[in-house]
Structure 1
Amino acid sequence: MSVAVAERKKYPIYIVLDVSDSMRRGTAGARPPLDEFTEMIPDLIMSLAESRALATTAWIRVIAFGDRPEPLCRMTSLAGPVQVAGPPDAVQTDYVGVLRYLHEQVGPDMRLIEEVGNGRDHRTKVARPLVFFITDGAPYADHRYQHPNEWMPYRDRLVGPPVQARIAAIGLVGAHPRTLWTLATGRPGGQRNAFIAEPQASGDGLARSVIEVIQRSITLSVRAGEMIIDTPRGMRRVDG
């Protein structure tokens, strides 16, 4: 007699944070954006973990990128303690390095989630990853601008089969609109999840708005099974 095996879906979530030199500079007396996000990301994770539904279904990884990608938090279930390291010093904004690194990590991360989640009477299905990419600059490494044809192949591997990651690109003041739109995903033929700060937006208010939207997006996306994200206050959606 066959035994029915239940299926439980788990959601891998990635927060990718630009830690380049420009993120360390404040404007008009405001604190540097990196300081704000460094403080708020652990609070975001704690808030998510307080949700019983998310604690049992969501896993998270935090990646810093600048001169090179570095894990601030390895893929960890929200059901357990999540430790986030401080960001490294960096100057550049290496899109090639971080997108290649992200693509290399997704496969092992998904296998880890599956192996930990499987049980005698159930199996784990890993959902398409949710990626929140926060930056304030254009792709730049080795003292030169990185052309899209250098980093787009890694982005396309992430969003194409079998991974099919969903990416929200969130640009602070100084980010490049076209780059954000090219990086982000969205509905076929529709809007992409690419956002950029209004010129006057900066400081704690903007960072807090971004974190609040990410928290709401994770909550709604896990519930709906697809990426749902609102435009943060102080930002606008980038059109193609």
Structure 2
Amino acid sequence: MGSDVLPCYVACDVSLSMADHLDELNQGLREFRGAVHADASITDRVLCSVIGFGAEPSIVQRMLPMDSLVDLPAPGACAGTNFGPAFTFLRDVIDEDLRLLAAHRVRVHRPMVFFLSDGQPTDPVTWPPAYSVLTDPAWACCPRVVTFGVGDADEEALGRIGTFRSYLSRDGVRLGTALIASVMHVLSTSGPPRDRRLSGRGC
């Protein structure tokens, strides 16, 4: 693995409403995996976790090199799409992962979250506070957030969530293109990670 890495988190809505979009999203993830794997300059610099969420979030794949990126699970029977628990879960997972990388003395770029959904949260009142905690600029590990909306995505909600970029599939944007463009932009325009390595207190 290279001396500096970009931790990526693909958080995908796997509630029942996403069933018609699963093939499209998995194809996008395969394109993303293939593009990273084909570029020797970044192959060892991108690590990825996959998180599924509906009523509750869960880990699908924990922080591995891109060539190990897995497909998304089939949508569950639950129709709930709760954004709040997903944001809380992401904060905990990012914090734990970066502490682990710190233990191995790996330098990291600011994490990136790819949030994929049809943008219809079933917890409209409670998700904003959880999101504020995830994206709190006072948190040293505060991630960049890229949103990708499919189907009848709520453009307003996803626009509030995307801090870096926001995409809609109905605009003709492919998921794989959006993912690799975001990663390449960060790796090509961001300076190297700070000389100070991760500590137990944060990034």
TM-score range, shorter chain: 0.7 to 0.9
Q: CA, structure 1 residues 176+40, in 2 after alignment: closer, same or farther (shift >3 Å)?
A: closer
Q: Which runs of 5+ in 1 are unaligned?
A: 1-6, 25-31, 119-123, 187-192, 227-240
**Equivalent residues in 2 for 1:86-97 (5 A)?**
86-89=73-76, 90-97=78-85
Q: Is the 8 A contact 1:10 1:113 kept in 2?
A: no
SS at match of 1:17: strand
Q: Which runs of 5+ in 2 are unaligned?
A: 192-203
Distance 1:41 1:109 in 2: 21
**Equivalent residues in 2 for 1:146-185 (5 A)?**
146-147=124-125, 150-160=126-136, 161-185=139-163
Please tell me the root mean square deviation across aligned C-alpha atoms, in Å: 2.4
**Equivalent residues in 2 for 1:3-152 (5 A)?**
8-24=3-19, 32-78=20-66, 81-84=68-71, 86-89=73-76, 90-116=78-104, 118=105, 124-140=106-122, 145-147=123-125, 150-152=126-128
Q: CA, structure 1 residues 159+38, in 2 after alignment: closer, same or farther (shift >3 Å)?
A: same
Q: Is the 8 A contact 1:73 1:85 kept in 2?
A: no
Normalised by the length of structure 1, the TM-score is 0.69
Give how far 1:106 is off: 0.5
Distance 1:47 1:88 in 2: 26
Deviations 1:158-191 (A, max 9, x none): 22221121111222232212211211114xxxxx
Give how far 1:113 is off: 2.5
Q: Which amino acid aligns with 2:121?
A: P
User: How many pairs were matched up?
Assistant: 187
Normalised by the length of structure 2, the TM-score is 0.80
Partner residue in 2 for 1:237: none
Q: Is the 8 A contact 1:72 1:87 kept in 2?
A: no
Partner residue in 2 for 1:194: 166
Instruction: Determine which structure has more spread, i.e. the larger CA radius of gyration.
Output: 1
Distance 2:112 2:23 in 1: 24
Q: Is the 8 A contact 1:73 1:84 kept in 2?
A: no
Specify which structure has the bigger relative contact order, considering alpha-carbon pairs within 8 angstroms and separated by 6 or more residues.
Answer: 2
